Amino acid sequence: MPQRIEFRIRRQDSPQAPPRWEEFSVPYRPNMNVISTLMEIQRNPVTRDGKRTSPPVWESNCLEEVCGACSMLINGRVRQACSALIDHLTQPIVLKPMSKFPVVRDLIVDRSRMFAALTRVRAWVPIDGTHALGAGPRVDPHGQERAYALSRCMTCGCCLEACPQVNARSDFMGAFVFAQVELHNMHPTGAMHAGERLEAVMGLGGIADCANAQNCVAVCPKEIPLTEAIAEVGRQTTKYMVRRFFWR
Amino acid sequence: MAQPRFIVVGGGLAGLMTTIKVCEAGYPVDLFSIVPVKRSHSVCAQGGINASVNVKGEGDSPQVHFYETVKGGDFLGNQPLAKGMCEAAPGIVFLLDRMGVPFNRTPEGNLDFRRFGGTLFSRTAFVGATTGQQMLYALDEQVRRYEAEGLVEKYEFWDFLSAVLDGEGVCRGIAAQDLRTMEIKAFPADAVCLATGGCGIIYGKSTNSMVCTGTAASAVYQQGAHYANGEFIQVHPTGIPGEDKLRLMSESARGEGGRIWVPRDGTPWYFLEEKYPKYGNLVPRDIASREIFHVCRVLKLGVDGKDVVYLDVSHIPRETLNRKLGGILEIYEKFAGDDPRKVPMKVFPCVHYSMGGLWIDYEADADGNPKVGNPRNHQTNIPGLFAAGEVDYEYHGANRLGANSLLSTFYAGMLCGPAMVSHATNLDRSASAVPSSVFEAERQRQQEMTEQICRMDGSENPYVIHKELGEIMTDNVTVVRYNENLQATDNAIRAFQERWRRTNIQDATRWANQAVPFTRALRNMLELARVITLGALRRDESRGAHYKPDFPERNDPQWLKTTKATWSPGGPVFSYDPVDSSLLKPELRKY
């Protein structure tokens, strides 16, 4: 069992600043994860060669893999830092910010494009209001299970990080957004407005930009059936286009 | 008069529901949050939301729900708000269903309900075991819809610093800091809602998310807002011990048939089932936590002699577990490394929820029903400043029943939004007519305080002080409380305050600096820690989550009172208000 945990962390003071590497060595305790070791560095922000430094900054909140905040590259693989257990990682553990989003500082990136994409595809059920309108629609239990599988997306960004189609030269919104389109098109009320969402994914950066690499589904920490959702939304757009053609 | 302006601070369930209610009235909202609202702590709520829909034909009703909520809270809660909440509950679950929350279903396609603590009825609607996440996402989507329409402006990655108070002590807006640029600004508003959640991080490790420091509540407490019932901190009986946090193992595990036991003389001893034959493993949380403490600390029967008991679901069919509890079993598997479908989980009580919080007012009619739209609802003693959600002290009394928190956040928003609208539209003078010097003065004050923190170059590490604070609070101000230890804890907190002054900030970067807001929050946590500890020291009785072996009985003549703490430079000053028990007569709490 190792006595210490060795870390290499990519630091960057600001979006414009050049990146640099710092190495840390933290005493080992059982059951540690990447977040608890970063916390240990906060309590003693000294590099491996004894130099005082500022504590590295990162984004995290729930620490139980439901909020989506702490995505980063850990030994080259995108995942949540809170559920990355030290005992399962080879050392030195290399931490980098996700590469497909602008770096804010150190391990923090700007994922606002994901929330903008949710707005663009109108990922909501347009209710008439919050006043009492009685019980909601009945839902068959199997449909509920499908909906729940899709609705666990925590907008963490792993699927964008892993996708070759998400890059500086493309507007591809990323796999997560199609799961949200399928989800809201399934809901009895949401289905009444499915066309608006399909129009949105037929535009720039939409469904046509998926090149079927299937990396997204491999890295999704919530095991969301992303490729199935892409296929389903693809089918829906095809049908929609045909219908739209004949309506004109 | 100018169009009224509204600020909501906090994007969890209570903040988002408040926002939606204000938008529905046609007014724009500025929504502030430390994290993107979709990452708020509400996502951590697991088990479900209570509503007496009586789908299973068990004879449940909102009246029973109300009675059990008040009894669960050991009669410390003001009863009209609890009554209003329980009566609104079925409608709230129907509304969430309309919003697209994918609740579990019965074979007939109806909403499914399961059992939770403190009741014998199946009253809890749920989405697997991530109900809070799913509810938050539904409200996040509704708010995004308003954002797309231009009614909501989000300020994410902003830290609330203080309320802007005018010469008459009326709240006219807030001061906040952009956590990326570090810029401090003042924002005017005619009504401000704090929906900033609980304060579990004061205990270092808890089930709470990293943002649940209570810093915002503490800031306005130091500006004169009353903080009520701070000593009532819920310790959840079943958490997974961890290095960075204590992860919750939802009460729903027991609601679906999970059993708690320890080995005794070579065989499993189901001590809750033995002592409480009627409620079994589903006694309220305060009772279950005390029993587990007793078994581990007094009888020394914890698993392997440690502070651990078993929570066992391994006898339940795998398919049922995956469908109804999947989310939490995954958490256990990922973080503890064992499959709970095969082996019993190792758990121990952990700090979970604050029943106490900012004091708020309400207005009820002669029958004890809250009057929706009355500006007194959810308003703190600072005019124009409202509080909703875990940050307020209402609904749960001395102990919260499981699955009542999601309900209370949502109901709080339903009351708070209309109250803010009534308040803001009936002001003699709007925030826009307040001289800009009022805002500039508060901005300046916060700027100077922040500069002071940036310059701190002492010898203390704020994260180390925080760790030590958490340890002593967890040792002395949780399940079992002794006056001697409480006094020692307060002495320690004051020593931490001294050490805080000698902090070294360690990070000179003026961009996305995390040490500065943390150090500021730590200062505020220390103030609130004193409220919790001294409130507990003074209350010489046992009630709900507050248990003193030296005063083992509830003492209604002396202590059926709301604790109210008022800030002073020397520490909290306490006063006590009567509890509104007009609807249900306090009785002995037995399960």
ipTM over 0.95: yes
B100 contacts A187? CB cut-off 8 A: yes
**Three-class secondary structure assignment of B290-337:** HHHHHHHHHCCCCHHHCCCEEEECCCCCHHHHHHHHHHHHHHHHHHHC
Q: Mind listing the pLDDT tens digit for each residue in B155-193?
A: 999 999 999 999 999 999 999 999 999 999 999 999 999
A1 pLDDT above the threshold of 60: no
Answer whether B520's CB lies under 8 Å from B177's CB: no
Q: In angstroms, rounded to a whole number, what is the distance separating the alpha carbons of residues A184 and A175?
A: 15
Residue of B nearest to A62 (CA): B209
Q: Does the beta carbon of B236 lie under 8 angstroms from any beta carbon of chain A?
A: no
Q: Which of residues 191-230 of A touch B (CB under 8 A)?
A: none
Q: Which of B115, B123, B259, B285 is catalytic?
A: B285
- For B5, phi then psi, to 5°, come to -115, 145
What are the residues whose beta carbons fall under 8 Å from the beta carbon of A128, sequence distance 6 or more?
none
Residues 181-220 (B) with a CB less than 8 A from some CB of A: 209-211
A140: which chain B residues are within 8 Å (Cβ-Cβ)? 105, 109
Asked if the C-beta of A20 comes within 8 angstroms of chain B's C-beta atoms, the answer is no
Length of chain B: 591
Interface contact flag, B242 A31, Cβ < 8 Å: yes
**CB of A14 less than 8 A from some CB of B:** yes
From the CA of B210, how many Å to the nearest CA of chain A?
5
Residue B586: is the preceding peptide bond cis (ω within 30°)?
no
Q: Do B94 and A136 touch (CB under 8 A)?
A: yes
Taking one residue from A and the other from B, the number of pairs with CB-CB distance under 8 angstroms is 186
**Strand partners for B239:** B248, B348
In this complex, is the C-beta atom of A148 within 8 Å of any C-beta atom belonging to chain B? yes
Report the distance separating Cα B37 and Cα B142, nearest Å.
12
The C-alpha of A48 sits at a distance from chain B's nearest C-alpha, in angstroms, of 17
- Residues of chain B in contact with residue A60, where contact means CB-CB under 8 angstroms, are 210
CB contact under 8 A, B94 and A135: yes
Report residue A10's pLDDT band, with 50, 70 and 90 as the boundaries: very high
Q: Which of residues 45-104 of A touch B (CB under 8 A)?
A: 45, 52, 54-55, 57, 59-69, 82-83, 85, 104
Can you list the alpha helix ranges (DSSP code H) found in B149-223? 215-221
Q: Give the number of other CB atoms < 10 A from CB of residue B590.
A: 7
pLDDT (tens digit, 9 = 90+) per residue, B14-48?
Answer: 999 999 999 999 999 999 999 999 999 999 999 99
pLDDT tens-place string over residues A147-183:
999 999 999 999 999 999 999 899 999 999 999 999 9
Read off the pLDDT of residues B544-589 as tens digits, 9 standing for 90 and up: 999 999 999 999 999 999 999 999 999 999 999 999 999 999 999 9
- Is residue B2 pLDDT above 90, yes or no? no
CB contact under 8 A, A44 and B106: no
Res. B152: pLDDT tops 70 = yes
Largest CA distance in chain B: 76
At A77-87, the pLDDT tens digits run: 999 999 999 99
Catalytic, B285? Answer yes
B502 pLDDT higher than 80: yes
- What residues contact B80, with CB distance under 8 A and at least 6 apart? B362, B364, B368, B369, B370, B580, B582, B583
Closest CA to B16 of B137, B99, B120, B126: B137
Contact residues on chain A for B106, CB-CB shorter than 8 A:
141
Query: Taking a contact as any Cβ pair under 8 Å apart, which residues of chain B between 102 and 121 contact chain A?
Result: 102-110
- Using a pLDDT cut of 70, give the percent of chain B over it: 100
Confidence label for B377 from pLDDT (cuts 50, 70 and 90)? very high
Tell me, what's the pLDDT at B1?
A: 59
Q: Which of B43, B94, B335 sits opposite A62 (nearest CB)?
A: B43
B435 touching chain A per CB within 8 A:
no
* The token pair that represents B309 in the structure block: 């008991």
Nearest CA to CA, how far is A191 from chain B (Å)?
A: 11
Which residues in chain B have Cβ-Cβ distances shorter than 8 Å to A180?
none
Higher pLDDT, A245 or B364: B364
* Helix A112-120 with B131-148: angle, nearest 10 deg: 70
pLDDT average, residue stretch B407-435:
97
Rounding to the nearest 10 degrees, give the CA dihedral for residues B522, B528, B533, B538. Answer: 160
Mutation target to probe the A interface, by most A beta carbons within 10 A, among B37, B43, B44, B98 is B98
pLDDT of residue B243: 86
Residue B552: CB atoms within 10 Å: 9
Residue from B516, B442, B489, B471 nearest B162 by CA: B442
With an 8 Å Cβ cutoff, is B320 touching chain A? no
- Predicted pLDDT at A244: 87
pLDDT at site B209: 98
Give the whole-angstrom CA distance, residue A121 versus residue B148: 11
Which two three-digit tokens encode residue A171? 């507007």
Element (H, E) at B342: none
What's the pLDDT band for B198 if we cut at 50, 70, 90? very high
CB-count burial class (<10 Å; 0-12, 13-18, 19+) for A180: buried
Beta bridge partners of B165: B171
